[in-house]
Amino acid sequence: MKMKVLSIALVFAPILAGLGYLSNCLSRKCCCRAVALRVLSNIPPDHPYYTSLEATDEDAANAFDEVAPERTRRSQDRLEFLDYPRVQMTSSAYLPFIVGLHHLWEREAEIGGGGTTVCVTFFGHCWVVGEINRFVT
């Protein structure tokens, strides 16, 4: 009986893991939109803001444009010393059905914050669970 349960588990575990990572890929945009508005709320609305192409992935950059189309986003390959305010966000798949979004915002040098927001995903839907590794400068 134990061997039968073990063999069933060994067959279904990779299938479940594959479905979880497929769910993560389909849900990253949704997770980025959920966090982008919270990140942009720390930047004054009348200021344009900068994003770095090397530190912000494409889904996050599109999410910034979708949640705040009236705001001006200036994207550059590399940010210079005086390019403020700035935001950065990248996403990573931690486990099947779990996505982490690493975000950073700075109004000026040494004035900002960030953290990692964890989301549970299910094939295009996401729910924000909470924030870990939060920091303020």
Residues 20-54: tens digit of each pLDDT? 888 888 888 889 888 988 888 888 888 888 887 77
pLDDT digits 0-9 by tens, 60-93: 888 888 888 888 888 777 777 777 888 888 888 8
Average the pLDDT over 5-23 and give the result: 85
For the chain, how far is it from start to end, CA to CA, in angstroms? 57
Q: How far apart are CA 88 and CA 61, in angstroms?
A: 9
d(CA 88, CA 53): 9
pLDDT at 8 (0 to 100):
81
Instruction: Write out the DSSP string of 77-103.
Output: SS--TT--SEEEEEEEEEETTEEEEEE
More confident residue, 118 or 85: 118
pLDDT given at position 116: 92
Mean pLDDT score, 112-127? 91
- pTM exceeds cut of 0.85: no
pLDDT reported for residue 1 = 67
- d(Cα 83, Cα 7) in Å, to the nearest integer? 57
Cite the DSSP H helix spans in 1-137.
2-40, 58-67
Pairing mode of beta strands 98-108, 73-76: unpaired
